[in-house]
Structure 1
Amino acid sequence: MARKIGFYAMLAYVVYGFLVYGYLFYFADTSLPFEYQGSRADPATFMNARELMLSEEYSKIRNLMFFLSAPLEWLIYLLILLLGLSRAFKKWGQETTKNKFGQAAIYVIWLSFFTFLLTFPLSYLSYNLSRTYNISTQSFPSWMKDELIDFWVSYGMMLVIVFVLYWLINKSRKFWWLFAWLLSIPFTLFIMFLQPVVIDPLYNDFYPLKNKELEGKILELASRADIPAEHVFEVNMAEKTNALNAYVTGIGTNSRIVLWDTTLNRLNDDQILFIMAHEMAHYVEKHLYIGIAGYLLLSLVGLYLTARVMNWAIQGYGKDLKVGDIGDIRSLPLFLMIISMLAFAASPLSNFVSRYQETRADRYAIEMTDHPEAAITSFQELSQAGLSQVNPPLLVKIFRYGHPTMLERISRLEEYEIQKRNREAESP
């Protein structure tokens, strides 16, 4: 039975891959609706022929890799169970030490190593794709360093989570999912508090914005929005990417407004001020805290469903999965597989909420800066720098886009620009 499950799982993955490939490369419609052709949202008005071609190629391949990556993770976890590797990881831990935490540490390191090794080819292809299309400027040693930092940061957090999780499962078989969720609340807030000052600096160098004149303009915007900001930070991303970005991260006293140096190098002050006003809108409208609340709500539902599905799977297929009990650490790949599946299934909902918040932030930013020309050109520059599709396929938008498409964002700004001209024309 285990062989049959493994065979059909791999067959399903291959069929799924061909279906996704067919959709993205042959059936998905990315053409611009007639009414937007020739408008400022039309990429033909701000990209040359080569950029248009590269944008389509790069986006299709990148989207294909996205849709292949999550199911590949599920397949790897399933095969680790079916092939008895999870049982072997536990055995190696027990043979090495009698300490329960030590056994968990050895199990998690082997599981992390195998999943890292098996997903590495796809990660490398993604890196190489970005290099080929001149999105990434990062050298292989630098990229590998970031991958290893990811590995050890993820390993450290997973070890703590796994040890506590299985302690809870063995203490309360019925309500472990609820207790795990309750503990996840302070853990999530603690990680978000540490992110800007402990985790992010592991990857890049952050420092106060060097352009003090621009920083003064940004802080003046922050003052108008009643944001208690004292500094704007820039991060050295030019050695890694040509893409542009800016964001707000952290909570409480560790909150930071961050600009990539690529953004500073490519955009003018008015464009940067629009982007900063957009980021400030997230603070003003409490989007970060709404996002945390939404995440915690989804995680509550997710943990409950995970508990139900794990019990069902072990009762019906425990022998094939080499797992006899939900409280056995050998069930961890099953737990991670179900969590990943539920997160993927929930992504359309979370992306929908995020796109709504981003639309609100765009509206706030244009009303604060009242500079539609700078806003439109900033989005055009973002599209060029990242070779982004202006009008992506529907499924790509649903599963990948936490922001409105560039077609939607620029066309709304054009409407605002027309309304502004009409107001100016009507005023005496």
Structure 2
Amino acid sequence: MKKRFLTWTLILFAIYGVLIGLYLFQWAEFGVPEAYQGTSADPATFMTAKELAQSQDYSRYKDFLYFVSLPLEWIIYLGVMIFGISTVFKQSSERVSRFSIVHIPVYVLLLSTLTWMLTFPVDYISRRLSLSYGISTQTFSDWMKDELISFWVGYIIMALLITVLYTLMRKFEKRWWLYASILMMPFLVFMMYLQPVVIDPLYNEFSDLKDKNLEAKILSLADEANVPAERVYEVNMSEETNSMNAYVNGIGSNLRIVLWDTTLNRLQEKEVLFIMAHEIGHYVMHHLYWNLFGAVAAAFIGLYLAYHLMKYSVRRWGDKLNIKSVSDIAGLPVLFIILSLLSFAATPVELAISRNAEMDADVYAIEMTQNPEAAVGAFQELTVNGLSEVNPPALVKYLRYGHPTMMERIHLLEQYQQIE
């Protein structure tokens, strides 16, 4: 079984990699349709020949790396089960302490460490790719610091979730998925409250916006939209990246309006105001809460399906994989595979909803600022700065893009200008 797993994994992964490579580098159509050529959405009108070439190359390599790495964790989890590593991890966690509450966090730590080590080369290649095209500016030591912070933050959250989940599995054999879904709501609300003031500062330094004139204008927009913000935060990102970003996140007293310093350095004031109006639009249209509702609904459906698929998997392969029951922690990799596959299957729907919300926020920002020229300039600069592909291949768009393509966004602005 082990030899067959290795053989078929290598064969299928090689075929998959070749097909993805052919799609991205040979079959997929890049560039702008004829109807958009010469318009503001045509990168040839605002990018140099070198930037155009870099944009296409960077997009292809980045997308190839994403798709090739997509099944890696599934393969790792399968290997952990087939080679008996999961059983070893379970036995090791039981030897650490006689208290059962310690066993699950130790098991999760062992599995997380192995997964992190095996996927680290892909993360490193992604970093090198970003550096070579001038997107990332982060030193290796700072990058490693962020990697380790992400690992430990992710581990603490995962260990807590898995401990609660498996406790529910043991106590409520037929209803654990329901109780876990119910608990997701307060957990996600708590994380939304915690994120801006506890987790985000672990990675970057936040300070009050230095440009007080710009801050006053942003807060005026926020006040017009009834956003309860008293200040605007500036985050130092220029030491890590040349990319630009801005966002409104958090809830209650922890709500924050945040601007990356790269955005401040590269956009004109009127363009920054459009970007902030877009982010304010998300708040006004309650997209944050709709995201919360969607996450809870997805958890309900996903855990219900996982409940049935996990039962079937244990019944079908439990003896071969040494999984005694659904609540046996040794079967966690199987649960991870199931949840990951369900998440992947839901991705096109989730991204389509996200793209629609982003387009609504664009419309809100245009109506609020009444400056489509600034909006076009902001999107063009974002495209140049991030070497973005304005019209990505269909597979990339529907499996990776949570925002409309730049071509679609700029075209919307042009239509608004024509109406005006």
TM-score tier (shorter): over 0.9
What amino acid is aligned across from residue 95 of structure 1 in structure 2?
Answer: R
1:295 Cα deviation (Å)?
1.1
- Cα deviation, residue 261, structure 1: 0.3
CA contact (8 A) 1:2 1:320 kept: no
Q: SS at 1:90's partner residue?
A: helix
Match of 2:207 in 1: 207
Letter paired with 1:387 = L
Residue of structure 2 equivalent to 1:148? 148
CA shift for structure 1 position 4: 3.0
Structure 1 residue 345: deviation in Å? 1.2
* 1:357-376 equivalences in 2 (<5 Å): 357-376=357-376
Residue 227 of structure 2 corresponds to residue 227 of structure 1? yes
In angstroms, what is the RMSD of aligned CA positions?
1.1
* Secondary structure in structure 1 of the residue aligned to 2:71: helix
Alignment check: 8 A CA contact 1:82 1:322 kept: no
Give the CA deviation at 1:89.
0.4
Cα contact 2:383–2:389 (8 A) shared by 1 = yes
The Cα offsets for residues 117-162 of structure 1, whole Å up to 9 and x where unpaired, read as 0000000001111001000000000000000001100111111111
1:253 is matched with 253
Is residue 13–residue 72 contact of structure 1 (8 Å, CA) maintained in 2? no
Flag the 1:325–1:10 CA change in 2: closer, same or farther, 3 A: farther
For 1:341, the equivalent position in structure 2 comes to 341
Alignment of 1:187-202 (within 5 A): 187-202=187-202
Matched position secondary structure for 2:210: coil
2:121 corresponds to which residue? 121
Q: Deviations over 1:100-121 (max 9, x none)?
A: 1222222111111100000000
Superposed, which structure 2 residues align to 1:282-321 within 5 Å?
A: 282-321=282-321
> Greater CA deviation, 314-323 or 273-282?
314-323
1:45 equivalent to 2:45? Answer: yes
Secondary structure at 1:391 match in 2: coil
- CA shift, 1:221, in A, is 1.0
Structure 2: distance between partners of 1:408 and 1:380 = 12
Q: Distance in 2 between matches of 1:211 and 1:244?
A: 17
Query: Which residue of the partner structure matches residue 405 of structure 1?
Result: 405
Q: Which amino acid aligns with 2:64?
A: L
Q: Distance in 1 between matches of 2:211 and 2:229?
A: 16
| 2:164 corresponds to | 164
Identify unmatched segments of 5+ residues in structure 2: none
2:247 counterpart SS class: strand
1:101 corresponds to: 101
Q: Whole-Å Cα distance in 1 between the matches of residues 221 and 155 of structure 2? A: 40
* Aligned twin of 1:414: 414
CA distance in 2, matches of 1:108, 1:292: 26
Provide the TM-score with structure 2 as the length reference. 0.98
* Structure 1 residue 7, shift from structure 2 partner: 3.5
Distance 2:361 2:162 in 1: 37
SS at match of 2:47: coil
Question: How far did 1:405 drift?
Answer: 0.3
Runs of 4+ that moved beyond 6 A: none
Structure 1, 96-105 or 165-174: larger mean CA deviation: 96-105
Deviation for aligned residue 1:2? 4.9
Partner Cα separation in structure 2 for residue 322 and residue 118 of structure 1 = 23
Question: Is the 2:166–2:329 Cα contact (8 Å) retained in structure 1?
Answer: yes
Q: How far apart are the structure 2 equivalents of 1:274 and 1:74?
A: 41
| 1:233 aligned counterpart, secondary structure | strand
Give 3-state SS (helix, strand or coil) of 2:243's partner. coil
- The aligned amino acid for 2:54 is L
Q: Is the 8 A contact 1:55 1:387 kept in 2?
A: yes
CA contact (8 A) 2:59 2:389 kept: yes
After TM superposition, give the deviation of residue 5 of structure 1 in Å.
4.2
Partner SS for 1:247: strand
Does residue 136 (structure 1) correspond to residue 153 (structure 2)? The answer is: no
Deviation of the 1:227 alpha carbon: 1.7
Alpha-carbon distance, 1:185 to partner: 1.3
Find the aligned partners of 1:308 and 1:22 in 2 and give their Cα distance. Answer: 37
Question: Would the aligned equivalents of 2:105 and 2:160 in 1 still touch at CA under 8 Å?
Answer: no
Distance 1:299 1:65 in 2: 28
Q: Could you tell me whether the CA contact under 8 Å between 2:177 and 2:307 is conserved in 1?
A: yes
SS at match of 1:129: helix
For 2:209 and 2:69, the matched residues in 1 are separated by 36
Contact 1:2-1:321 within 8 A present in 2 as well: no
Alpha-carbon distance between aligned partners in 2 of 1:59 and 1:319, rounded to the nearest angstrom: 45
Paired residue type of 2:258: V
Code of the aligned partner of 1:4: R
**Structure 1, unaligned runs of 5 or more:** 421-428
Deviations 1:345-377 (A, max 9, x none): 111101000111111000010111111111001
**Alignment-derived partner of residue 75 in structure 2:** 75
Percent identical residues: 50
Query: How big is each residue's C-alpha offset from its partner over 1:400-419, in whole Å with a ceiling of 9 and x where there is no partner?
Result: 11100000000110111122
The range that moved more, 40-49 or 17-26, is: 17-26
Cα shift at 1:84 = 0.6
Residue by residue over 1:245-284, the C-alpha shift from the partner in whole angstroms, topping out at 9 and shown as x without a partner, is 1111112221111110000000011000000100010011
State whether structure 2 residue 351 is matched by structure 1 residue 355. no
- How many angstroms apart in 2 are the aligned matches of 1:252 and 1:64? 40
Give the superposition deviation at 1:183. Answer: 1.2
Amino acid across the alignment from 1:306? A
